[in-house]
Structure 1
Amino acid sequence: MELADRFPGLDFHLVGGTDEDRARWEQACRSPHVYFHGHRPPSTLPDYYALFDVVLAPYEQKVYTWGRLDETGRWASPMKVFEYMSHGCPMIASDLPVLHEVLQDRVNCLLRPPEDPAAWAEALDELITDDVLRRELGAEARRQVLELYTWRRRADVVLAGLDRPESGRTRPLS
């Protein structure tokens, strides 16, 4: 919401969340250029991605399970990040260690500290004013996800290890 307040000339579209989440955020929102779409079936999301100039992945420093029973930030799976990458969306994401395996600042996204709205505003301003950077980040993200992060690629890496004999094994596993 703070980014929306800083950029009154841009439209912000929030897709996802429960009905309760949507109601809470809509009530707190002061900006008329923020649109809440709520939960959408996954099959409809490509239509949204095609319209977005920039996407945001604002993961918090700590990620909790439902009911805040456990903190799982060290193992968070950035499925939404892979989805953004597959659509070639230029992205600003939280600079968290768990994301560094996939995301590289100024290579396939812009990374910013999750609790620093000014840094996110600077990144958004850079992407909306630099068409070349925006296109390059989105294209590289798409290239990487298609070459490195498909299920086929993962299966090939796992199965490649089956061709190597294990030291100490004398008979096949049954």
Structure 2
Amino acid sequence: MSDYDIQSYLLDRANIHDVITKMSLYLDLKRFTSLASDVFADKMQVDYSSLLGGEPYELTGEKQAVTWMEQLGGMDCWQHVTTSILIELPQPGKGVGIPKNAGALANCVARLERREARGGPEASNGGRYDLEVIRTNKSGNPWRISRLKADVVWFAGNMGVYEGVENKPAEG
């Protein structure tokens, strides 16, 4: 077992923070290919049941990027903000192995607009992401999101903005 040194610990924290930040930013910038290649693990678990009902599901990272692209396809605009990212890594030291996965919690806020929605064009929500990231063998930042659970704390606006959006993977 190799020791987990302070430099590796700090680099892991920075890389995990970056991959979580990229998730929201790439989604808002419509960089769905980058979500699949630079943010999501090859296999992942997703749970938006606290907002959309339904059940958690498993799929590939590429399929999750397509799912988000299709879910947001009917929206006119949106913005997601992820902040207060708390990363759960072991403290570095002798005898501490290099972690293969880590947990993270983050606050999140989303605002979506669909001008043609029945009942009004806006919906906002806030809550927390409960995430797991895994270390991959990919070059550059090796960390990828393997589990994404949204826990909605508050909702404001028109739930009709989400009409047709379900907590399930895209077809095909």
Give the TM-score normalised by the residue count of structure 1.
0.23
Of structures 1 and 2, the larger Rg is shown by: 1
Higher relative contact order (CA 8 A, sep 6+): 2
The answer to which structure has the higher helix fraction is 1
Give the TM-score normalised by the residue count of structure 2.
0.23
The answer to which structure has the higher strand fraction is 2
